[in-house]
Amino acid sequence: MVFPYMETVVGFMIVMYFFETYLDLRQHAAHKLPRLPKTLEGVISQEKFEKARAYSLDKSHFHFLHEFVTVVMDSAILLFRILPWFWKKSGNFLVLVGLDAENEILHTLAFLGGVMLWSQITDLPFSLYSTFVIETRHGFNKQTVWLYFRDMIKGMLLAVILGPPIVSAIIIIVQKGGPYLAIYLWGFMLVISLVMMTIYPILIAPLFNKFTPLPEGELKEKIENLASSQKFPLKKLYVVDGSTRSSHSNAYMYGFFKNKRIVLYDTLIQQCKNNEEIVAVIAHELGHWKLNHTMYSFITLQLLTFLQFGGYTLVRNSTDLFRSFGFDTQPVIIGLIIFQHTVIPIQHLINFGFNLVSRSFEFQADAFGKKLGYSSALRAGLVRLQEENLSTMNPDPWYSAYHYSHPPLVERLAALDEPDKKVD
């Protein structure tokens, strides 16, 4: 008797949907609370609280619908054998246009092209509603319909340009990898991730946003002095025109070795009351660098990727696994897709673990900024970002423990108010 792999996967998807919906209901109830947490009274204005509450409730209602449609669609695709049907149809399409359907690379690219198109079509109504109804209603959306579709088309073109060489290489590696397949796959994906981390901010991100050097002045001088004091090899300071698409704010840094760059969203500069708040936010980000959080996360991700490929090599030739999902052949890409479905329970646990570690890192980075003397400015900056982004003020503790990669504002402020602790 063949083990019901597919039915087990669908069953787990449905169980997780009900579990996460329960957490969503708890969070929704928390959104309805009419008052700020006591620790935020007098810190967050009542006006901002009411706006954040309305924004959170709108997003919550939308989330319930989106998640329901998603689980129904994903379950139906598996239960009604849509994947094997679509795989056969993509092969028929190749024959129709005069190409070799027996060529696995061509067959895979045709299949993935159809999947990408299907995903864009099915997700489009939700994306449009989220952007042009919810985000616009609450004052965040700044992009036009033309800009929205231009970005979408650019993204699809990038996928068409970058996807085929990567997919082709993966298929060839699996076909010829032999006993060291997991190592070859991991090594290839490591190279791809390093290349993408290098070229994305230089070649890809500028296709969507305009990056300009931060003008000379007090803010630039303060950030450069801070970076210099921590021996951070800052080469460039940029401002990105995030306001062309949204009024949400952010800041980040990137680059390898001695070529680091910091990017500030123009909305962050506009929203913070003074330069000290912005510098405090950068001090927090420098804390992640100084404490090697990015490196630890990258190494952990590589280890998990290697283990995942190792697991894939153990099941890639399992006829029963493929048959359970409706396939009478064993294409490489299908094997990877099926394997991803079968390890979903482990991925949920891993994501939960990552969130726990991430929240710990955020506290450490805050403590680092506090150690540099930015406690009050960081406190004010965190409050400002919470207010301007209309972030959830009353998160449910169970929901935040499961979903949040950053601690709630109440917890971060409480940690900043604690007596100084040594940061290793």
Catalytic site residues?
A: 285, 366
Backbone torsion region of residue 392, taken as left when φ is above 0, otherwise alpha when ψ lies between -120 and 50, otherwise beta: beta
Tokens of 391: 């972030």
- Alpha-carbon span 336 to 27, nearest angstrom: 34
Is 362 flagged in the annotation as binding? yes
Is 288 flagged in the annotation as binding? yes
- Alpha-carbon span 137 to 142, nearest angstrom: 11
Residue tagged 């006006």 (tokens): 47
Tokens of 383: 């409050």
Residue from 224, 230, 299 nearest 262 by CA: 224
Residue from 386, 402, 405 nearest 394 by CA: 386
Residue tagged 């791809």 (tokens): 192
Give the β-pairing of 251-254 and 211-213.
Answer: unpaired
Residue from 94, 119, 117 nearest 105 by CA: 94
**Helix, strand or coil, per DSSP, at residue 268:** helix
- Alpha-carbon span 201 to 196, nearest angstrom: 9
- Alpha-carbon span 279 to 372, nearest angstrom: 11
Is 47 flagged in the annotation as binding? no
Name, in order, each residue with C-beta under 8 angstroms of 228's C-beta and a sequence gap of 6 or more: 234
Rounded to 10 deg, the angle between the 218-229 and 275-290 helix axes is 20
Distance of CA 373 to the CA centre of its chain: 31
Per the annotation, binding residues for Zn(2+) are: 284, 288, 362
Per the annotation, binding residues are: 284, 288, 362
